[in-house]
Amino acid sequence: MKHSRLNVVGCGRLGQAISTLFITAGIVDEIHVCNRSQASGAQTVAAIGVGVAHASMGEMPPSTLWLISCGDEAIEEVAERVASEAACLPDAIVFHCSGLLDSTVLESVRRAGARVASVHPVRSFADREMAVRDFRGTFCGIEGDLAAQEVLTEIFTTIGGRVFPLSTEGKILCHAGHVFASNYVVSLLECAHRLYRAAGIPEELSWCLMEPLVRSAVDNVVRLGPARALTGPIARGEAEIVKRQAMAVSQESPVSGELYRMLGCVAVEVATANGLSPERGDEILRGLRGCGDL
Ligand SMILES: NC(=O)c1ccc[n+]([C@@H]2O[C@H](COP(=O)([O-])OP(=O)(O)OC[C@H]3O[C@@H](n4cnc5c(N)ncnc54)[C@H](OP(=O)(O)O)[C@@H]3O)[C@@H](O)[C@H]2O)c1
């Protein structure tokens, strides 16, 4: 598994953390970095504590491992430049760590002879030191060429990752799942906060009200599954109450009203899986549809 060096093109928050993890675990002995400017590369190398900054990809030494960790929008174009400028790609593995993009954006380096993959560590790299310290146990979704997957699975397992396979076609939906589980939870809590405010609940109290509700909802979904975790008026089949509440929320805020009704539809499906009768479920849906466009 020993590779002499890792070449990193676009070494920012994630690139620095992965470089540190690879060096610390003895996966590679050398790190070579190429950012947009050599000055940025030099700062990066100083932050990692080891490595060499290069002014161009053509200057980077041959390597069997390449990480392209610039922002997602630049990955395809950077891969094209790696394909045309880098030395000795035929034996190399080239990978990126985007959660959203799959390995097909690396087609140009694949055509140049490299094996390609994407490995998405499902965590934040906002704080490099914290990401390195807490990396053990991080889930890493992998897809791409089988030969590249084999090597990268071993490497990411060695640095503490919990690697799981993804299909190339399914990757974008898997990432959308992360968006719902993370970013949109923030959006939902903001909606809850606005409704508390409209109800005259003081700011500080609103967060205190939310915290135990959110924590227990998450604990219960993980422990019992969504069907048994769902409580409230939809789980009890209270169609009239749900309709009244949907109207009140829509009057307060059209956006929150729309969300209430859409998430209510999902809740009806979940409640039906836990014994709510289809007839009562339909009645709730009619009530939800009756107070807005669904
Ligand atoms: N950050 C996270 O929490 C996280 C989590 C999971 C996955 N990821 C993935 O990791 C990748 C990198 O994200 P990041 O947050 O680490 O980005 P970042 O901190 O913004 O770093 C991107 C780096 O790429 C360099 N760069 C940009 N365009 C370039 C180009 N054309 N050629 C060479 N270097 C270039 C930038 O440096 P200069 O501008 O100074 O050159 C910077 O050092 C993305 O694919 C992202 O989806 C990130």
Q: What is the CATH number of the domain that holds 139?
A: 3.40.50.720
Q: Which of 143, 171, 199 is the last residue of a domain?
A: 171
CA of 78 relative to ligand 1 center, distance in Å: 11
Residue 237 lies in a domain: yes
User: Do 156 and 18 have their domain in common?
Assistant: yes
Separation CA 230–CA 222 (nearest Å): 12
User: What DSSP line would sit under 197-244, residue for residue?
Assistant: HHTT--HHHHHHHHHHHHHHHHHHHHHH-HHHH--SHHHHT-HHHHHH
User: Do 278 and 228 have their domain in common?
Assistant: yes
CA of 19 relative to ligand 1 center, distance in Å: 13
User: Do 13 and 148 have their domain in common?
Assistant: yes
Residue 113 lies in a domain: yes
Look at ligand 1, atom 42, and give the residue with the nearest C-alpha.
12
Ligand 1 binding pocket mutation candidate from 32, 35, 59, 179 (most atoms within 8 A of CB): 35
Separation CA 247–CA 283 (nearest Å): 15
Residue 176 lies in a domain: no
Whole-model pTM?
Answer: 0.91
Residue 177 lies in a domain: no
Instruction: Give pLDDT tens digits for 129-160.
Output: 999 999 999 999 999 999 999 999 999 999 99
Look at ligand 1, atom 32, and give the residue with the nearest C-alpha.
36
User: Do 116 and 11 have their domain in common?
Assistant: yes
The number of folded domains in the chain is: 2
Token pair for residue 195? 């409704």
Check the CA dihedral 58-62-64-69 and report its sign: negative
Please give the share of the chain, as a percent, with pLDDT higher than 90.
94
User: Do 38 and 160 have their domain in common?
Assistant: yes
Look at ligand 1, atom 43, and give the residue with the nearest C-alpha.
12
Q: Taking the CB of residue 12, how many other CB atoms lie within 10 A of it?
A: 16
Selection from 107, 135, 151 nearest residue 6 by Cα: 151
The residue type of 79 is: A
CA of 67 relative to ligand 1 center, distance in Å: 11
Q: Which of 137, 171, 205 is the last residue of a domain?
A: 171
Ligand 1, pocket residues at CB < 6 Å: 9-15, 35-37, 40, 69-72, 74, 78, 96-99, 120-121, 124-126
Instruction: Give pLDDT tens digits for 46-86.
Output: 999 999 999 999 999 999 999 999 999 999 999 999 999 98
Ligand 1 binding pocket mutation candidate from 7, 13, 140 (most atoms within 8 A of CB): 13
How sure is the predictor about 182, in pLDDT bands with cuts at 50, 70 and 90? very high
**Mean pLDDT across the stretch 159-183?**
97
Residue 186 lies in a domain: yes
User: Do 186 and 152 have their domain in common?
Assistant: no
CA of 141 relative to ligand 1 center, distance in Å: 18
| Segments forming the whole domain that contains residue 106 | 5-171
Look at ligand 1, atom 12, and give the residue with the nearest C-alpha.
69
Residue 117 near residue 143 (C-beta atoms within 8 A): yes
